[in-house]
Structure 1
Amino acid sequence: MTRQIAFLILLLLSTFYASVQGGKPERIGAATLFAGAWLSAWVVNPRGPRFHQIETGILLTDMAILGIFLWLSIRSARFWPVWIAAMLGAEVLVHLGLIIAPSVHWKAYMDATAMWSWLAQFIMIAATWRHRRRLGATGVDVSWKH
């Protein structure tokens, strides 16, 4: 199984799980990650070798997703959006790091940007699971700060 197929399966599973079992913050987060993965596949540089220079389309997508997770971090009563926002911040820094170190091998750049997406999916699964646990224990799980 290729890495791309494995990620697609993980993305679909985490999105489905959060959409069906999550609260509003989990559903927003899952939809954002799903849309970001889909958009990233479409905005990657179609001309020439990919990831041999900054992938501007992916960088802009990552920055938009970061903005949504920063908003979720501020507005929701959950802690997990802070983790995903931090990972997205690191991913944006990987893109910008290519300006400082343009001789970085393209595969290292590609892997460093992709790594955070995998971790974000696992956090979405854990966040949804914890939401279900809180609901089971107390019958309520407040989604938003007052």
Structure 2
Amino acid sequence: MVIFIIGVGTTFIVTPLSADRYAQLEFGILVTDMAILFAFMMLALSAERYWTIWICAMQVIQVLSHIPKMIIPELLPQAYYVVIAFWAYPMLLTLAIGTYRHQQRLRQFGVDRSWSDFSSSRESMMHQR
């Protein structure tokens, strides 16, 4: 959730409040989307949960959504906005479902174990420090 909050805040900061918003490539939003992608990739590599991989995949699509504006500069600003904003909603839904499933496993089993021994040994090493 922290990645989403920082991403939204940064997007508001880098998006100019002008009449011609989304009339050309929104470079600040593209850079923000790429930073968010990097953060989600790091999360997906360490979290060992499917939902993190799905969010990462949707963020890849989010970043690639800027390409049509690069290729077709006369693309309608409203269409560009919808294309780059759309994937935030399925990503938030995926986060909600992943969090809900995590809570279910905690209630049912008392723990939500990692998939690999590597994560378990890494966690035990962290607790020993």
Fold shared per TM-score above 0.5: yes
| SS in structure 1 of the partner of residue 22 of structure 2 | coil
Task: Measure how far apart 1:88 and its partner are.
Answer: 1.0
Q: Report which of the two structures shows the higher radius of gyration computed on alpha carbons.
A: 2
Q: Which residue of 1 aligns with 2:93?
A: 122
Moved over 4 A (4+): none
For the aligned residue pairs, the C-alpha RMSD in angstroms reads 1.6
What amino acid sits opposite 1:72 in the alignment? L
Task: Measure how far apart 1:58 and its partner are.
Answer: 0.8
* Aligned partner of 2:75 among 101, 104, 112: 104
The alignment status of 1:49 with 2:20, answered yes or no, reads: yes
Structure 1 residue runs of 5 or longer lacking an equivalent are: 1-29
- TM-score, normalised with respect to structure 1: 0.74
Task: Measure how far apart 1:97 and its partner are.
Answer: 2.3
CA distance in 1, matches of 2:41, 2:102: 20
- TM-score, normalised with respect to structure 2: 0.83
Structure with bigger RCO (C-alpha 8 Å, 6+ apart): 1
* Aligned partner of 1:80 among 51, 56, 78: 51
Give 1:61-76 correspondences, 5 Å limit. Answer: 61-76=32-47
The alignment status of 1:134 with 2:105, answered yes or no, reads: yes
Structure 2 residue runs of 5 or longer lacking an equivalent are: 119-129
CA distance in 1, matches of 2:12, 2:37: 17
The alignment status of 1:60 with 2:39, answered yes or no, reads: no
* Change in CA separation of 1:143 and 1:103 when aligned onto 2, cut-off 3 Å: farther
CA contact (8 A) 1:54 1:98 kept: yes
CA contact (8 A) 1:80 1:123 kept: yes
Q: Which residue of 2 aligns with 1:4?
A: none
Task: Measure how far apart 1:136 and its partner are.
Answer: 1.2
Q: Which residue of 2 aligns with 1:21?
A: none
* Change in CA separation of 1:142 and 1:97 when aligned onto 2, cut-off 3 Å: farther
What amino acid sits opposite 2:98 in the alignment? A
Task: Measure how far apart 1:68 and its partner are.
Answer: 0.8
Task: Measure how far apart 1:81 and its partner are.
Answer: 1.1
CA contact (8 A) 1:77 1:142 kept: no
CA contact (8 A) 1:69 1:85 kept: yes
Number of residue equivalences: 117
CA distance in 1, matches of 2:78, 2:18: 17
